[in-house]
Amino acid sequence: MSDATLGTSSTVREKQGKERQGRSALRHLSLPAGARCASPILLFMALGFLAPLLTVIGFAFAEPRSFAVFESFTLRNFAEIFNPADTVWMSFAWSLALALLTVAALLLICYPIAYGLVRVFGRWSSLVSIAFVFPLFISENVRLYGWTLFFINHGVLDGLLAGIGLSGPNVLFTPEITLFGMIYTYLPFMLFPMTLGLSMVPGDLIEAARDFGAGRLMIWREIELPLAMPGILIGALLTFVLAAGAVAEAKILGGQSVIMISHDIENAFTYSQNWPRGAALAVLLMIVIGGLSMAVMARLDLDRILGRR
Amino acid sequence: MDRSRPRRSHLMIWIWTIFVAVAIYLPVACGALAGLSKGRYFLFPIRAYSFEWWQKTLDSLEIQRIVQTSILIALIVTVVSLVLGFFGALAFARFDWRGRRLYQKLLLLPIFFPQPVLGLALLLWFNTLGIQPSWHTAIVAHLVWIVPVVTLVIAIQVYGFDPAMEEAAADLGAGRWMILRDVTLPILWPGIWSGALFAFLLSWGNFPLSLYTAGADSTIPKWLYSKMVAGYTPMVPALGTMSTLAAATLLLAGGAIAGFVKARRAR
């Protein structure tokens, strides 16, 4: 197992070296085969991902309340946002704070499950995995709405407690329930990268450490955690980024007791028809998200994480 | 070594996992109950169960059209993302080329991006191009984040694939097309199949991208949301439950077909 883990990247390179010599038939075009295979997807992403982001950036520097993209240049949208009289900083603060709390809670909630999937559940692992993947295929508003039905007055919880003479707690439409909804929605995005990370820890390495008398805490701190870190980092990054842009939880469960930053962006684009302001907000959010993503991803070797066999 | 301690902690892990799994499905169950209750408003405990709202949902012409749109979007997304994702995965994991490391990371960016913001950015882009948002533009939006997912799913299969197989076929005189059809595709088939299931189901259940990019057209999640915000009817949980059951059925059928093919090949 440890051999396989450590040896993967070198075998990949070896295989690919062989192939470079062997497949001259494929090289009659000037681009290497890999680049040719990547070009359709890159072209699509340039049009479907890069171009929209550039448009947003263009709008962020357009005159406020105008549609004059790429025609005018001004920093007034950003000046408005950073003006202390503008309360939009609160949405940023709420979104980032709730995203941080979501990540922290999910690290604790998912670790035992990920550990179980790798070391404890054995042949039940795939069934448990499917149980946790499947919610991704139900749209989040349906699942969040289910919680509304659970917590609402005369809902499931209230109705059950009424049977023993109590009444349900009034938790709906609070910041806390928004956080709860975010933890609920993004759980799979933490669980699976974390599981991938923990499965990178060779079992016999732990056995060996135990035989040499290492305690559980020491094994966890010195072996398990460092080796699983790439997966844990991906999970934390993914949940943070998605949660920072979340909006459905605050709308459906939170009853807008908290205004998230994506909600402000949406409002600027829709009701108030101030696209440059919405774009400027989106750019600020993208700077936070993009900066974090780049910083974390620069440190990852995806071949090692995904390519273990 | 004390053996009872690991066993006790394993039990705790089982209990915790089951507890979380129950919590995950609890709201889904609440929705199913609400869709089956007879009255116009949801009250628990439910006094009378009936399929009344299911029937009304099935009979609604509006909902039939929305379901058709959802299926059509998901089918087109599946086909396109498989084609792009197949070649994308070869570039991701099979070939060694100069820009590969960068490509791998760039490809992940749409996954590491909040979907409401992505949807709004696409809306802005379509407007700038002068394209009226409709279910056609929703397909593009779905593809932007589903193509990278499908590429990753197939890439994981590609990592376990030995290029020597293709070389052997080439040495024996097989053409490029024949190698693709008789060697590469059959070996990568499990990854492609799971990629297809992921693509269809993720598109089927997608809410934020459809909300902003489908224009006047509606998908199931978008329609449900519009009713949740204004004007609850028990058709909301009823349709939500049906949509969930459809996804579960598809997943089970997909898994069964994969298992069947694998067993037949092993013989």
Query: pLDDT tens-digit profile of A1-40?
Result: 333 443 444 444 444 444 444 454 444 557 788 888 999 9
Number of H-type helices and E-type strands within chain B: 12, 0
Answer with the residue of higher pLDDT: A75 or B1. Answer: A75
Question: 10 Å Cβ neighbour count for A256?
Answer: 12
Q: Which of A34, A15, A36, A29 is nearest to B91 (CA)?
A: A34
What is the reported pTM? Answer: 0.89
pLDDT for position A8: 44
Residue range B61-266 forms a domain whose CATH class is: mainly alpha
Residue A139 and residue B206: Cβ atoms within 8 Å?
A: yes
Topology of domain A86-306, CATH: MetI-like fold (1.10.3720)
Average pLDDT over residues B100-114: 92
- How far does the CA of residue A85 sit from the closest CA of chain B (Å)? 25
User: Which residues of chain A make contact with B39, given a CB cutoff of 8 A?
Assistant: none
pLDDT for position A308: 55
| Domain boundaries along the sequence of chain B | 61-266
Question: 10 Å Cβ neighbour count for B107?
Answer: 24
Average pLDDT over residues A115-131: 93
User: Which residues of chain B make contact with A164, given a CB cutoff of 8 A?
Assistant: none
pLDDT for position A168: 81
Rounded Cα distance, B223 and B239, in Å = 10
Question: A53 CB near a chain B CB, below 8 Å?
Answer: yes
- Amino acid at the residue A25: A
Question: 10 Å Cβ neighbour count for A300?
Answer: 18
Q: Which of B239, B205, B252 is nearest to B32 (CA)?
A: B239
For residue A260, give both structure tokens: 């998230």
Residue B207 and residue A248: Cβ atoms within 8 Å?
A: yes
Residue A34 and residue B93: Cβ atoms within 8 Å?
A: no
Average pLDDT over residues B17-24: 97
Rounded Cα distance, A264 and A278, in Å = 7
pLDDT for position A29: 52
Q: How many percent of chain B have pLDDT more than 90?
A: 68
Count the alpha carbons within 13 Å of A94 in the hemisphere toward its beta carbon: 25
- Which ipTM did the prediction report? 0.90
| Domain boundaries along the sequence of chain A | 86-306
* B-proximal residues of A, 143-182, CB under 8 Å: 143-147, 149-150, 152, 154-156, 158-160, 163
Rounded Cα distance, B133 and B122, in Å = 10
User: Which residues of chain A make contact with B247, given a CB cutoff of 8 A?
Assistant: 134, 137-138
Q: What is the sign, positive or negative, of the torsion defined by CA atoms of A139, A144, A145, A150? A: positive
Is the distance from CB of A257 to CB of A178 less than 8 angstroms? yes
